[in-house]
Structure 1
Amino acid sequence: MPGKEHQPTPKGLRCRKIAEQTTAFLKAGGKIQEVPPGATGLPSIKDVKRSYQMSIRGFLS
């Protein structure tokens, strides 16, 4: 409609805010690291079990 201003959706506002934060991060010297598909920042369940077993052994000794 003529004269009616377009209001951004909440999703659009979030996208814009993320883009602004990313730009500020990069301008401040931050770097973005690409994570390979399938990778996460979480340890594997195998590593968690091994760590747990090591802590139990130390506790029982």
Structure 2
Amino acid sequence: MPGKEHQPTPKELRSRKIAEQTAAFLKAGGKIKEVSPGASGLPSIKDVKRSYQVSIRGFLS
């Protein structure tokens, strides 16, 4: 309708907030590294299992 102001959707608000946070991070001297496709930055399941096994062995001995 003419004269009605556009109300941003939750998705638009979230995107705007992320953009503002990113700009502030970069302005404060932060750097962004590119993550290769398929990488998540999380430890692999093998690393998690290995860590769990090591902690259980220490607990049981």
Same fold (TM over 0.5): yes
**Comparing 17-26 with 45-54, which one deviates more in the overlay?**
45-54
Aligned-pair distance for 1:30? 0.5
**How many matched pairs?**
61
Who wins on radius of gyration, i.e. which is larger? 1
Q: Which runs of no fewer than 5 residues in structure 1 stay unpaired?
A: none
Instruction: Give the TM-score of the pair, scaled to structure 1.
Output: 0.73
Instruction: Give the TM-score of the pair, scaled to structure 2.
Output: 0.73
Percent identical among aligned pairs is: 89
Q: What corresponds to 2:12 in structure 1?
A: 12
- Per-residue CA deviations over 1:13-57 (Å, capped at 9, x if unaligned) read 111111111111100101111110111222222233333444455
Q: Which runs of no fewer than 5 residues in structure 2 stay unpaired?
A: none
